[in-house]
Amino acid sequence: EAGVAQSPRYKIIEKRQSVAFWCNPISGHATLYWYQQILGQGPKLLIQFQNNGVVDDSQLPKDRFSAERLKGVDSTLKIQPAKLEDSAVYLCASSSEGPSTDTQYFGPGTRLTVL
């Protein structure tokens, strides 16, 4: 079974530039999550999709971050414009059902450096 795919693996940009990350979940998984992991901290949920609908985006900085999952499969996360404090690893995860009782499977992450 193929795992969660993410690209790119690394990205370096200057502040105020835009950046986009892509995630393809495990086939058949209805729920997709984006996490931000700052160095020295645990992952923090940014947004959760159930199929192509947003379930929770309470911790997404909506003035600069956006995410979509148009066909209920793959997803993109965008930052526009980026700030220095956005430097982090962005993790995508998926699960077959919802988060309560289901294991989340994580991708390798995208390491973003904002200069």
Q: Which spans of this chain sit near another protein (rule: CB under 8 A)?
A: 3-4, 33, 40-45, 48, 55-56, 91, 93, 98-101, 103-109
**Residue type at 39 in one-letter notation:** L
Closer by beta carbon to another protein, 82 or else 110:
110
Q: Integer distance in angstroms from the first to the last C-alpha of the chain?
A: 37
Q: Locate tokens 């009782």: which residue?
A: 101
Closer by beta carbon to another protein, 25 or else 109:
109
Q: Shortest approach of another protein to residue 103 CB, angstroms?
A: 5
DSSP letter at 85 equals G
